[in-house]
């Protein structure tokens, strides 16, 4: 039964156990390419589109819209047109039998975040997935985010690479007290964490403020960074959506949080009730407001970006690429457009400030291709 591919319920994020099929974007019998959008899936945290991942014909849709399925459950079957229907039937039947047995092991194998302490005594939460071979991919989230922002791309890239996603100080499950909020201090926390993990060389992937931190690290510790992928990074121009920053910092109530989060994405439907609740739960923790205030003062005071790293980017000794959403309403895509020709710049259509969530499969591919090349 060569060439038959099972399309199964993906695991997006640490807490996902099941997903609901909102609708199929292809119909049975359609030819599909690997990057074609197949279906829309809703989890308690997020709604997202799943791509085919493989080329073939959508031979069988097993799960209908409205169905809620556990992770790993069969949703559809891809296969070349020449595969007989009977073979597809057999595949589906066999899958249904095998699946429950795998359920328990899949659950216990689910990756869980760990904690480390840097030499400076800072407690950092991180999520490591994937093998031990080669320099790992290290993911650095943006302002107000946490390692869950990589929930779509990290598992994909972990299939071939060791990956580590960190929570910056003041964020996620890391210490909420910051020694200082400036780029050098946050970069020192990241390098401290990598030291504790005995990682001396890594592919850095940073988003927004985390992009600027990755860039700062690469410029100041060229031995540490094997490559740099910057997703809508801060630090490449003075403009920033000051209203968003202020709104996010001040938001204590659901309505305010929704208003702020909608600015992050092109399609507001991506912002689920649980995503809003997660942000509020983070923001309610003692120390978070003070940490965010300290970062804002160092990075975004007076509604302008104070961290300027364009010169660092020009002087990098390792490969770097830039990914940006054309409809980014937080940091303008013009910052990327100004760099075209100097390094690989990928601008994604119908995408806001979170390309790695909004266009996860495409961003994963861009990173994979970049590392391969």
Partner 1 sequence: MPQKSIRQALNEALAQEMRRDPTIVVIGEDVSGGAGTAGQRDAYGGVLGVTKGLIGEFGEARVIDTPITESAIMGAAAGAAVTGLRPVAELMFSDFFGVCFDQIFNQAAKFRYMFGGKARTPLVIRTMIGAGRSAAAQHSQSPYHVFTSVPGLKCVVPSNAYDAKGLLIQAIRDDDPVIFCEHKLMYDLRAEVPDEPYTIPFGEANVVRDGDDVTVVALARMVHYATTAAEELAKNGIEIDLIDPRTTSPLDEDTILDSVERTGRLVVVDEATPRCSIATDIAALVADKAFDALKAPIRRVTAPHTPVPFAPDLEKLYIPSPEKIAAAIREVHGYGR
> CB of 324 within 8 A of CB of 332?
no
Chain position carrying tokens 């968003």: 244
Q: Does 67 bind partner 1 (CB under 8 A)?
A: no
Residue 317 CA to residue 37 CA, distance in Å, equals 37
Distance in Å, CB of 277 to partner 1, minimum: 8
Residue 166 CA to residue 119 CA, distance in Å, equals 16
Looking at residue 46, the DSSP 8-state letter turns out to be: B
Residue 237 CA to residue 97 CA, distance in Å, equals 56
Tokens of 66: 């409205």
* String of contacts with partner 1 for each residue 155-194, x by CB under 8 A: ---------------------x------------------
Distance in Å, CB of 70 to partner 1, minimum: 17
Distance in Å, CB of 283 to partner 1, minimum: 9
The neighbour count for residue 171, using CB atoms within 10 Å, is: 28
> CB of 203 within 8 A of CB of 371?
yes
CB closer to partner 1 out of 176 and 203: 176
- Stretch 248-307 residues interacting with partner 1 (CB under 8 A): 252-255, 273, 281, 284-287
Phi, psi (rounded to 5 degrees) for 339: -100, -5
Looking at residue 136, the DSSP 8-state letter turns out to be: P
| Environment class of 368 (CB within 10 Å of its CB; exposed 0-12, middle 13-18, buried 19+) | middle
Q: How many residues bind partner 1 (CB under 8 A)?
A: 11
CB closer to partner 1 out of 42 and 195: 42
Distance in Å, CB of 22 to partner 1, minimum: 13
Distance in Å, CB of 3 to partner 1, minimum: 38
* String of contacts with partner 1 for each residue 206-235, x by CB under 8 A: ------------------------------
Distance in Å, CB of 71 to partner 1, minimum: 19
Tokens of 7: 């399309």
Residues that bind partner 1 (CB under 8 A): 176, 252-255, 273, 281, 284-287
């Amino acid at each position: 039964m060569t060439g038959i591919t099972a399309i199964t319920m993906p695991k997006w994020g640490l807490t996902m156990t099941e997903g609901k099929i909102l609708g199929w974007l292809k119909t049975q019998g359609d030819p599909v390419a690997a990057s074609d959008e197949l279906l829309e899936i809703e989890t308690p945290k997020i709604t997202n589109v799943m791509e085919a991942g493989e080329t073939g014909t959508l031979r069988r849709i097993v799960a209908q819209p409205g169905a809620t399925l556990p992770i790993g459950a069969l949703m559809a079957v891809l296969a070349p047109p020449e595969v007989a229907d009977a073979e597809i039937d057999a595949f589906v039947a066999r899958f249904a039998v095998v699946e429950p047995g795998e359920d328990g092991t899949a659950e216990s194998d689910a990756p869980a975040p760990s904690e480390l302490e840097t030499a400076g005594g800072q407690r950092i939460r991180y999520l490591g997935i994937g093998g031990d071979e080669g320099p790992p991919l290290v993911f650095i989230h943006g302002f107000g985010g946490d390692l869950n922002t990589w929930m779509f791309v990290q598992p994909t890239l972990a299939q071939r690479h060791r990956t580590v996603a960190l929570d910056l100080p003041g964020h996620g499950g890391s210490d909420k007290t910051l020694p200082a909020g400036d780029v050098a201090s946050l970069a020192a926390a990241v390098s401290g964490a990598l030291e504790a993990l005995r990682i001396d060389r890594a592919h850095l992937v940073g988003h927004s403020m985390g992009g600027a931190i990755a860039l700062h690290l690469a410029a100041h510790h060229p031995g540490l960074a094997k490559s740099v992928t910057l997703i809508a990074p801060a630090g490449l121009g003075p403009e920033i959506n000051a209203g968003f920053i202020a709104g996010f910092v001040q938001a204590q109530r659901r309505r305010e949080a929704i208003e702020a989060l909608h600015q992050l994405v092109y399609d507001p439907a991506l912002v689920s009730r649980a995503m809003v609740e997660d942000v509020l739960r983070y923001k309610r923790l003692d120390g978070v407001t003070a940490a965010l205030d300290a970062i804002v003062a160092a990075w975004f005071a007076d509604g302008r970006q104070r961290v300027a790293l364009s010169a660092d980017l020009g002087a990098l000794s390792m490969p770097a690429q830039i990914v940006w959403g054309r409809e980014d309403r937080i940091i303008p895509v013009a910052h990327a457009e100004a760099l075209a020709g100097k390094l690989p710049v990928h601008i994604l259509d119908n995408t806001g400030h979170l390309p790695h969530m909004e266009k996860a499969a495409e961003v994963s591919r861009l990173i994979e291709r970049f590392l391969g090349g």
